[in-house]
Amino acid sequence: MMTTSRKNDPLEPVGPDCDVVTVPARQGLEAVDILRRGAGDAVGPVLHDGGCDTLGFLVPPGTAAAWDVPGSVCTETDGRGIRLTPDRPAKGSDWLVPPGEADLATDPAMLREALGQAQRMIEAADSCS
């Protein structure tokens, strides 16, 4: 008879209940910088994929239900697949802003504002060339 550990159960939550906002890396890096320069430490843990094409901001649960920022996607995780440890969170990804160096989640309103500002900065920079 084969038994499995609950720790390895793919349906068992392994991290906090959160949602993840995924954005293109260029816009996300600008947004991280904007959030870090703002009042207080406004950025929570941030993931990047192995190809550095996208960033994922951990945001409070329920954010996905009302997220409508063009060029980004917000996904519910229900705590599955995200481990808030400084170690690599999942195969093919790593932390840009690791847990422990940040709040538990980025405030969605602040992230929305930072992403908008980042997009305007990118458009301005691209129009100068």
> What's the mean pLDDT in 91-104?
78
> What's the mean pLDDT in 78-83?
60
Among 32-36, 43-47, 85-89, 105-109, where is mean pLDDT lowest? 85-89
Q: Buried (b) or exposed (e) across 33-64, using 16+ Cβ within 10 A?
A: ebbeeeeeebbbbbbbeeeeebbbbbbeeebb
pLDDT digits (tens, 9 = 90+) for 6-44: 344 443 444 567 899 999 999 999 999 999 988 666 788
pLDDT of res. 118: 96
pLDDT of res. 6: 38
